[in-house]
């Protein structure tokens, strides 16, 4: 046991993921009752995620107020904001385009035969989880084009905090930060001192929570697998295999983002090396993979980027919370691949105009996706709605949309884990890039 605790954090988490998988396989093969896992394993995973979420809002509030106050003047804030949003947009458009190029070259949809497609759609089309997703998308779709802007402004900051509405909290914290800049040090000093102290305490709490991360991750992974396999593990594996080409296309795109695009970005804008970067953020990536939630991972992302990559707090406290909600490169890439894949499966050819439409809608849809498990798939429905071919009736097309989502549901949780890891990696890479060559302090050790 002692030996395990001495291992670096990322190795502890990797071991937890592996043992979670092995345990689940043994459990499933031994005919274990899934209810046992629901009652006795999953709750510990839930507690772990709740602990992370518990500190996310106070952390963002405290670190962002201190961060803006530290910037010292408004022009610096607008410069930082402009640079951040510009780089976030560029990486998301790149991700969507890479997804589109790959799906057009590999053409996974053309590799699936008609019979298999029909049987998978048939299997899922009446499932409650599909219905939930479709109704979630319908709610989003009803709102007007400026709704995201309206949603950013809280009418009650306590409710916003209670609901975990990250962008609203970011908005509020920035306003408070700006106000501290104009009232002078005498008035703002006590608040900034308080927030500073809260911030440091939360950093300590993150260390405590990460100490139990191996247990949390083990419980999350094993209960998830037991749940997914359900009563028919062999059937689950077969469907995964059928959707193999589609999954490979998404994974290839995600790898390109992580190992080509982000390192190139950092090479241009910063002096952080490839190895140093990955070493610094490894635990955050693994946590994103295990939880499928960039919001839940946010506290750890902030801690890693500040304490292990040395990015100054005024940059990280602004760039990372914003990124966890609006910058989802993995999600936008997945959405563009999935949209074209579904159309290929249903024999709908998308012309250049429709593909450009996918770049636009997938970029917007990923910005609108919440950093929680499965959010990207709900927003995918909106991307699909945007490419309805001329001449096809509404009802005919809605059959394709529902059938398409039913088709790709099986591997979605796994792909969600991978795209969330890329979402978080992207936030960190952009944060390091925005900090640039001067926005870092030296860190004494890059070890876990
Ligand atoms: N789970 C992803 C995230 O939290 C969002 C998605 O479903 O793509 O980043």
The count of other CB atoms within 10 Å of the CB of residue 106 is 18
CA atoms lying within 13 Å on the CB side of residue 393: 2
Q: Which atom of ligand 1 has the smallest separation from the CA of 374?
A: 7
In whole angstroms, give the CA distance from residue 369 to residue 379: 6
Mutate to test the pocket of ligand 1, among 129, 140, 254, 294 (most ligand atoms within 8 A of CB): 294
CA–centroid distance, 61 to ligand 1, in Å, is 22
Is the Cβ–Cβ distance between 342 and 407 less than 8 Å? yes
In whole angstroms, give the CA distance from residue 261 to residue 429: 10
Residue nearest to atom 8 of ligand 1 (CA): 376
Give the model's pLDDT for residue 443: 57
Rg (CA), the chain: 22
Q: Which atom of ligand 1 has the smallest separation from the CA of 369?
A: 5
Residues in the chain: 448
CA–centroid distance, 414 to ligand 1, in Å, is 11
Q: Which atom of ligand 1 has the smallest separation from the CA of 293?
A: 4
In whole angstroms, give the CA distance from residue 194 to residue 212: 28
Is the Cβ–Cβ distance between 309 and 274 less than 8 Å? no
**383 CB near ligand 1 (under 6 Å):** no
CA–centroid distance, 194 to ligand 1, in Å, is 33
Mutate to test the pocket of ligand 1, among 253, 374, 426 (most ligand atoms within 8 A of CB): 374
CA–centroid distance, 105 to ligand 1, in Å, is 25
**376 CB near ligand 1 (under 6 Å):** yes
Helices H / strands E in the chain, number of each: 23, 0
pLDDT in tens, the chain (448 residues): 666 677 888 899 999 999 999 999 999 889 888 899 999 999 999 999 999 999 999 999 998 999 888 888 888 888 999 999 999 999 999 999 999 999 999 999 888 777 777 777 777 777 777 777 777 776 666 667 787 788 889 999 999 999 888 889 999 999 999 999 889 889 999 999 999 999 999 999 999 999 999 999 999 999 988 887 766 666 666 666 678 899 999 999 999 999 999 999 999 999 899 899 999 999 999 999 999 999 999 999 999 999 999 999 889 999 999 999 889 999 999 999 999 999 998 888 888 899 999 999 999 888 888 889 999 998 999 899 888 888 888 888 888 888 889 889 888 989 999 999 999 999 999 999 999 877 666 554 444 5
Is the Cβ–Cβ distance between 336 and 381 less than 8 Å? no
**292 CB near ligand 1 (under 6 Å):** yes
CA–centroid distance, 363 to ligand 1, in Å, is 14
In whole angstroms, give the CA distance from residue 289 to residue 422: 9
Is the Cβ–Cβ distance between 418 and 250 less than 8 Å? yes
**307 CB near ligand 1 (under 6 Å):** no
* Residue 180: partners with Cβ closer than 8 Å, 6 or more residues away: 65, 68, 69, 188, 191, 192
Mutate to test the pocket of ligand 1, among 284, 289, 299, 330 (most ligand atoms within 8 A of CB): 330
CA–centroid distance, 125 to ligand 1, in Å, is 23
Per the structure block, which two tokens stand in for 425?
């990696």
Residue nearest to atom 3 of ligand 1 (CA): 371
In whole angstroms, give the CA distance from residue 136 to residue 56: 25
**335 CB near ligand 1 (under 6 Å):** no
Which residue from 231, 222, 166, 253 is spatially nearest to 48, judged by alpha carbons? 222
Residue nearest to atom 6 of ligand 1 (CA): 376
Phi-psi region at 230: left, alpha or beta (left = phi > 0; alpha = psi -120 to 50) = left
* Residue 234: partners with Cβ closer than 8 Å, 6 or more residues away: none
- In eight-state DSSP terms, residue 111 is G
**331 CB near ligand 1 (under 6 Å):** yes
Sketch out the chain's domains with CATH numbers.
Answer: 7-438 (1.10.3860.10)
CA–centroid distance, 31 to ligand 1, in Å, is 32
**420 CB near ligand 1 (under 6 Å):** yes
Which residue from 201, 84, 125, 180 is spatially nearest to 435, judged by alpha carbons? 84
**375 CB near ligand 1 (under 6 Å):** yes
**328 CB near ligand 1 (under 6 Å):** yes
CA–centroid distance, 367 to ligand 1, in Å, is 11
Give the model's pLDDT for residue 2: 65
């Amino acid at each position: 046991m002692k030996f395990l605790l001495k291992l670096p954090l990322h190795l502890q988490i990797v071991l937890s993921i592996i043992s979670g998988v092995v345990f689940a396989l043994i459990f499933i093969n031994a005919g274990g009752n899934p209810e046992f896992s629901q009652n006795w394993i999953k709750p510990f995973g839930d507690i772990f995620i709740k602990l992370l979420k518990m500190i996310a809002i106070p952390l963002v509030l405290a670190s962002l107020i201190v961060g803006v106050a530290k910037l010292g003047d408004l022009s610096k804030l607008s410069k930082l904001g402009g640079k951040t949003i510009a780089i976030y947009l560029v990486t998301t458009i790149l991700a969507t385009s890479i997804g589109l190029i790959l799906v057009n070259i590999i053409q996974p949809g053309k590799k699936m035969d008609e019979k298999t497609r029909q049987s998978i759609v048939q299997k899922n089309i009446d499932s409650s989880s599909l219905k939930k997703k479709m109704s979630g998308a319908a709610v989003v779709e009803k709102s007007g084009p400026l709704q995201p802007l309206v949603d950013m402004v809280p009418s009650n900051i306590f409710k916003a905090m209670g609901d975990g509405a990250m962008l609203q909290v970011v908005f509020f914290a920035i306003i408070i930060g700006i106000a501290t800049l104009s009232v002078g040090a005498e008035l703002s000093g006590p608040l900034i001192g308080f927030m500073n102290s809260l911030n440091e305490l939360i950093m300590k709490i993150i260390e405590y929570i990460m100490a139990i991360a191996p247990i949390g991750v083990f419980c999350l992974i094993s209960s998830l697998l037991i749940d997914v396999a359900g009563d028919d593990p062999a059937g689950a594996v077969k469907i995964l295999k059928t959707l193999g080409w589609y999954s490979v296309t998404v994974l290839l795109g995600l790898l390109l983002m992580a190992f080509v695009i982000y390192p190139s970005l950092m090479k241009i804008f910063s002096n952080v090396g490839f190895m140093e970067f990955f070493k610094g953020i490894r635990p955050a990536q693994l946590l994103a993979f295990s939880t499928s939630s960039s919001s839940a991972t946010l506290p750890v992302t902030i801690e890693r980027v500040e304490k292990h990559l040395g990015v100054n707090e005024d940059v990280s406290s602004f760039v990372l919370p914003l990124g966890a909600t609006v910058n989802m490169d993995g999600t936008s890439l997945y959405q563009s691949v999935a949209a074209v894949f579904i159309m290929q499966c249903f024999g709908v050819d998308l012309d250049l105009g429709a593909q450009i439409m996918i770049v636009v809608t997938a970029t917007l849809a990923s910005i609108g996706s919440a950093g929680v498990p499965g959010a990207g798939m709900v927003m995918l429905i909106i991307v699909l709605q945007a490419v309805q071919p001329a001449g096809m009736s509404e009802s005919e097309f809605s059959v394709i949309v529902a059938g398409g989502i039913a088709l790709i549901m099986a591997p979605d949780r796994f792909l969600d884990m991978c795209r969330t890891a890329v979402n978080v990696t992207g936030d960190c890479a952009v944060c390091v890039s925005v900090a640039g060559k001067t926005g870092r302090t030296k860190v004494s050790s890059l070890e876990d």
